[in-house]
Structure 1
């Protein structure tokens, strides 16, 4: 959605072409006060550019055709007109790859202009949304972006964030990690109430950059008049508007906009304007030249930028488009699965395999391909869910490819390790991908071979069958488990030297608690045949089976006074009155923004108050299912101001899972959505009466967000109360609180009620990309109505103390990043491939960090070397000293995020001591 901006001239008003759908930031206060014409003179930096959305209101391939046309004509223009000196190719290296797949013959022409500094590009691979992807994904965009652009020439060292829907608080530290000391951005902060467009932006750790807002948007100099008189008048008027909110004598004029080609007559227009200007100079410039001018002013004291700390999500005039946090939630869920797979499993497991076996070949090419494919889904118009249905259908195909590749890489690496563990017979090797020791639930599939694999009619021998099994720890003690299922089935067998075969097996599905699994390591559990199911004592639901009562050892799940299922801590300090209260309201907005209809109908229901049955009843785990239906208005009313009188039933299935000794209760909601134009939330009462803020997981930090607006908030439309979260959100007060741990859900709201209810958005269903009176036409997106089946997962962790004392981030990662079991043993004795030596111990840690307040972000191979990179961050504001250990490490360095080695550390017994500032992101490089 777009409100046309106006170009000021003395003769006529030229509306800029309306960007078809996306609302651009508007700042009414900007036009209300003007500075007197300053005779001291300004330099007007005209930066020619295009902002390239790869997919949005057209699919990727159609936009790529336009990109090819743009660069073709740009090359011709720059080669034929030396006066057209510079062009900014939007700061993202992926456009080079997109173009050259169609025009490989133009690579040298493009390289020459980049090497000459006439085309500027980088530092990013893609211009990703910052709140809907992980902090690590943002770092990878810079890492891979640098590698791509360096093939052609210099990387533009500007923190260019033109159209992201707000900016994360740790961005200054991330930019500094790549040698970038500046930022030019478009959303999340406004130069109002006396503030200037230039300021010092500071991260929670104290890292700072010199930031500049692209005032009046990144098309404030679009289509500059060639006529000398009109051009000079335009220059004076835009100068006057900009000077009113600038503390600098250098002003940034952006000559371009979304998908716009270079202004072919710009060199003539600037020459004619300069002839008419007396006090000022207008020049064709670049973002680096503009930044350098600001930097010199700041160093001389002529520019005195004020300081601003933390995230830039100031939502004046709806500029951050907060509804995109919950548009097409299925995209956010798929992205979370892929990020977790690459960051927490495929990459770390590949490093572990190299530590376990020198002959292991780290899959650098495969992992880079997977990351690039995933990042194609990270630009704001993509991951935000605010594009055509065709765009998001293609995204799901990309996600599926990343999952296929990531799962295969994880399986290869973990199996490579497991097959080298010194254990006989059938066994499970349980892996922990986090940097702290864990005791948690494992769900494992165990196959007992009933015969050898065969191409046709494989045999199944009854004598080989196991009626039941025992699980034994490394000391030989029996480990209790819950049997989920047991069946005779066939498994597929694949060998590189044989055609596919089948093998009959007895397949057990079990859940058990793996104790003390080492950090980034494994623990072995042996398997043994049993004649009958072992007796592990009473089931978790034995006290009151009929009423769905379950005890974990620290939490009780039980019916309340109403039919709802409730959650209570054993000491009765924390009480959650419902595990799955639901709120449904109308939504007549679009993919960008939620808009409640004037005549709304609010529907409250409880998914735990239906037909109940036990799915799993065991001493270690239990699970109950509740089935019901949610009756909702079919759609919005015909006039769009209310909800229809016709209703539809949306089947709901709630599954609640609890595990012995695990201090969380897991909730899975399956909903078959048949309604349109509505928003569905889970409402979870925190019980933190009087709490004044929420704290949520963010990119490399925990973010505190006040419940109430500051007293000096201007009398403008109130900002959106919807906030982003990455993995968890917590509300606490008076020594108790509730953490909601989420799996791929990204939007929450803290309600200003007595119970301090948390609203977790599950679905936001709308039918148009963008709508509004100022839009010339609307593109319909029926896919954004999110019809059909959806599954949502979250867990509840009630606790005493606040989020820090309760280590909420750790419990969130434990929930999301499961212990993983790999079976080893002689399932197939027909293989001709030589078996590996089994020399690894039964319990082993590859990497550890001695303090769990240091949260892991990456373990990978170095981009330009053979070192092993470990990245983590301090989630607190306190300085922490910790020992970091990597098995077999001989040398270690602290590096920046760009993996440039800075300081060598002393290594003893494979570990190094490290001091970490509050909120600092640390990257270490080890050599083994």
Structure 2
């Protein structure tokens, strides 16, 4: 390694001393999959690591190599070369191969906060098996960075961030603009919304500015004259950073020789084969300039807007939908249910959860989840999503079985042998009401009972489903709809015997579960009406029951209508009713549907009306998987003047739904010029292609629903896409007067300007969201929640319309060459889910944000038996409350066995969390402590008094109070006795 020469802090050397230092860091930026399928990249990775190990063996002067910040590279390599593990570990432990801190290099805006936390946790844990994880906040090519990154880094023990995008324009083939950006230097201070600050280092000349350093003197002279000048243009000190590598770059074997050549040519420069820790140490020691402070999100706001790559949020939307479902199943269902089962004495499935998370996170690199790779990549992603989901579902089934086995359902014994209990689980962090569905076996015959297949089928077909009703734990009848699914096959997989097949008569029960406790459960039962009459109803009430529910077979009402005592205690103004032919109303909202299929929502709490909601917009798209480009002279088509077919789909005590059908003619594709421009590699902003004159009919089915307890209107949209090169959005005009809006981001409700910065030239100003976007003024606001629809735009149309992208269909990858991607046209059937939630102007305190977060999480229902148990039929094991605080996760620490809970402050003020165990909790907690996202123990919390709650949930008299700062991410550990 080159001898180091001390450089004065000012960076100006005395005569005979070095005046600057060139830090050359060898690396490869390893996209696991992108313009080649995964296995083709994989085979190249094996060659690269083989070559690296050989180089380290042969060349002691080859100082070190950075393995792209992601430990999955080790997994991928050892999958093929397991015999090289000891050799690889030797160089990691010696510091010549630097690994971590991540498991994968994920996209920031399209992956959840908890997915990013698991990514850091898994990366650290895996790195520690080989050595010490690098404390480097590494984001070389992430497509913009979320505002909470500084806090997440500091909570991981990392005080720096290296990044390539978000503050400086990049163009075709990642060319870097010389235009200005927000910082005076490539080094800056990045401050998050909570006040956390880290040292930021922008790859101002990209993460390949030291790639392929020439060893030849003539070539090296020209190379270094340009590279040194380019680096000095932005650097705040004489410590200059040169990244010796690029995408899938093989190692430079002659780098030591190239460095010696550079030393001979530029004696005033110290050339060092360096690494990130050494560079950071030198940078901090020499920096005397006042660095610029950049605050909040890094989304290339102060650029021309063409190279932001934001439209990857809408490329291959089906992947985003699968990802949202997969993330939620793990972080909001499987983990909390496993944690509850753990509190009841069962082993927590650490290994299975890690496997499921790793499988899911393998879809989280930017070129994967962003949908900007070749078709083969995204086909494999679908399989990974399914594998992770199936693993999560298996753990959910096991945990719910463990919990329901000790939930007391013996209260339903009095209804007789035909009682069919079920348990509804609410795994969100707040009490919840909503529509639930369960396929329930009304009767079973096991094959082991010896009947022939014909006799089993006959017996199950003869099962009488009439005369049954749904009741809750107090014996009150609950309005429901029961659909006869007919004869079904099923099987049990016992832990202690061979599989047990059976034939059954199955029904689908739908009802509104009311006030299910946060992180808790509530028991119900489907019982014979005769038994209910004997137990709970007077003869007079049983004689003339009102109509409330029906068993349906193939959509035909079989005349099963029975009593619902709930009607007797509902106030008239609180009921769910039809209003006219196309209206519906509950306690909170009034909805009216227009001839064109749009609808008006009136917030009865504020009196504010929101009209023209739910119209569709269609435009052409001649861009690519990375960026949207509307053709010149293309006028947006909408359904505003299109008459819709509207009919009542269902109406009962708990939900009213209308079906809206549009038959809409749109262009079938772009014209032939687009193909020519793609082949000629015309940069997408400069394309002149237009839309085809040929039309195709798109049939759009929209279902608009309002439930009895609903604070929002649910919208389901579905269509069979038969067109190419276009974009479909749903429009929600707000007519609210404001210059800003709010969007759900990673552990943050991000505030954003409606209008772009003056530098912005792109006609489109689409942006990222996670769960929702909110436009609000002083006393009114409108939240549009979504499931897996990550792109929106607040239109500059005088109405502050929220436009949510449903589908974007394009035919090429984009970037540095021509890579056709016909499957990115997303032909075929699609379904989308949104919720319209009005509020009083404060999204958090009004409960609108809570509703939007709960909209993401599926209910979990389990059929069980009538049996005794030590858990009440309605309860939870933990209770918490905190103003402006959002619940994020509940899990168990792998090392300590402590219960770990996480929240984040949605607001900018101080608040507090009160946390306690309930009397139902069989575990005793000896201490509570504040942790970080790595779940390392920190400050102990003192016990505090906790108010008693009304029955049926009685809280322990003592709990813990946790102070929460503005925008803070809070992790608490509970130590068990």
The answer as to 2:668 corresponding to 1:634 is yes
SS in 1 for 2:474: coil
SS in 2 for 1:825: coil
Bigger mean CA deviation after superposition, 917-926 or 852-861: 852-861
Q: Distance in 1 between matches of 2:224 and 2:147?
A: 35
| Superimposed CA distance per residue, residues 78-133 of structure 1 (whole angstroms, 9 cap, x where no aligned partner) | 21111211111111000000000101111111111111111111100000001000
Among 967, 971, 975, which residue is 1:919 paired with? Answer: 967
Q: Normalising by the residue count of structure 1, what TM-score does the alignment of the two structures yield?
A: 0.90
Among 840, 843, 851, which residue is 1:800 paired with? Answer: 840
Unpaired segments ≥5 residues, structure 1:
1-34, 827-835
Contact 2:576 2:707 in 1 (8 A): no
Q: Distance in 1 between matches of 2:268 and 2:893?
A: 52
Distance 1:542 1:176, change over 3 A: closer
Among 342, 345, 348, which residue is 1:354 paired with? Answer: 342
Contact 1:607 1:626 in 2 (8 A): no
Corresponding residue for residue 25 of structure 1? none
Q: How does 1:476-491 map to 2 (within 5 A)?
A: 476-479=475-478, 481-483=479-481, 485-491=483-489
**Number of aligned residue pairs:** 869
Corresponding residue for residue 611 of structure 2? 577
The Cα shift of 1:523 comes to 1.9
Corresponding residue for residue 213 of structure 1? 202
Q: Distance in 1 between matches of 2:255 and 2:220?
A: 11
Distance 1:507 1:236, change over 3 A: same
Q: How does 1:199-210 map to 2 (within 5 A)?
A: 199-210=188-199
The Cα shift of 1:495 comes to 3.2
Corresponding residue for residue 894 of structure 1? 930
Among 409, 417, 425, which residue is 1:431 paired with? Answer: 425
Distance 1:461 1:256, change over 3 A: closer
Corresponding residue for residue 659 of structure 1? 707
Q: Distance in 1 between matches of 2:146 and 2:708?
A: 38
Q: How does 1:672-711 map to 2 (within 5 A)?
A: 672-688=720-736, 690-710=737-757
Corresponding residue for residue 395 of structure 2? 409
Corresponding residue for residue 589 of structure 1? 623
Contact 1:810 1:852 in 2 (8 A): no
Corresponding residue for residue 16 of structure 1? none
Distance 1:610 1:453, change over 3 A: farther
Q: Normalising by the residue count of structure 2, what TM-score does the alignment of the two structures yield?
A: 0.85
Corresponding residue for residue 729 of structure 1? 773
Q: Distance in 2 between matches of 1:69 and 1:201?
A: 38
Q: How does 1:202-351 map to 2 (within 5 A)?
A: 202-298=191-287, 302-315=288-301, 316=303, 318-351=306-339
Q: Distance in 2 between matches of 1:452 and 1:614?
A: 41
| Superimposed CA distance per residue, residues 586-610 of structure 1 (whole angstroms, 9 cap, x where no aligned partner) | 0000111111112324211159942
The Cα shift of 1:921 comes to 0.8
Contact 2:470 2:480 in 1 (8 A): no
Q: How does 1:851-870 map to 2 (within 5 A)?
A: 851=882, 853-870=884-901
The Cα shift of 1:367 comes to 0.6
Among 100, 111, 115, which residue is 1:133 paired with? Answer: 111
The Cα shift of 1:506 comes to 4.8
| Superimposed CA distance per residue, residues 861-888 of structure 1 (whole angstroms, 9 cap, x where no aligned partner) | 2132311211111111111122112443
Q: Distance in 1 between matches of 2:251 and 2:461?
A: 76
Among 753, 772, 792, which residue is 1:748 paired with? Answer: 792
Moved >6 Å (runs of 4+): 35-40, 461-464, 538-541
Q: Distance in 2 between matches of 1:258 and 1:487?
A: 54
Q: Distance in 2 between matches of 1:510 and 1:430?
A: 12
Unpaired segments ≥5 residues, structure 2:
1-10, 169-179, 414-419, 531-559, 675-688, 945-955
Contact 1:540 1:621 in 2 (8 A): no
The Cα shift of 1:637 comes to 1.0
The answer as to 2:441 corresponding to 1:447 is yes
Distance 1:149 1:541, change over 3 A: closer
Q: Distance in 2 between matches of 1:578 and 1:664?
A: 16
Contact 1:421 1:838 in 2 (8 A): yes
Distance 1:681 1:628, change over 3 A: same
Corresponding residue for residue 473 of structure 1? 472
Q: How does 1:27-176 map to 2 (within 5 A)?
A: 41-176=19-154
Contact 2:183 2:293 in 1 (8 A): no
The Cα shift of 1:856 comes to 1.8
Contact 1:448 1:465 in 2 (8 A): no
| Superimposed CA distance per residue, residues 705-752 of structure 1 (whole angstroms, 9 cap, x where no aligned partner) | 101234xx44x6348511111100010124212110101100000001
SS in 2 for 1:822: strand
Q: Distance in 2 between matches of 1:868 and 1:521?
A: 16
Q: Distance in 1 between matches of 2:114 and 2:14?
A: 46
Q: Distance in 2 between matches of 1:586 and 1:462?
A: 53
The Cα shift of 1:435 comes to 2.1
SS in 2 for 1:675: coil
Distance 1:852 1:439, change over 3 A: farther
SS in 2 for 1:45: strand
The Cα shift of 1:217 comes to 0.4
Q: Distance in 1 between matches of 2:650 and 2:971?
A: 43
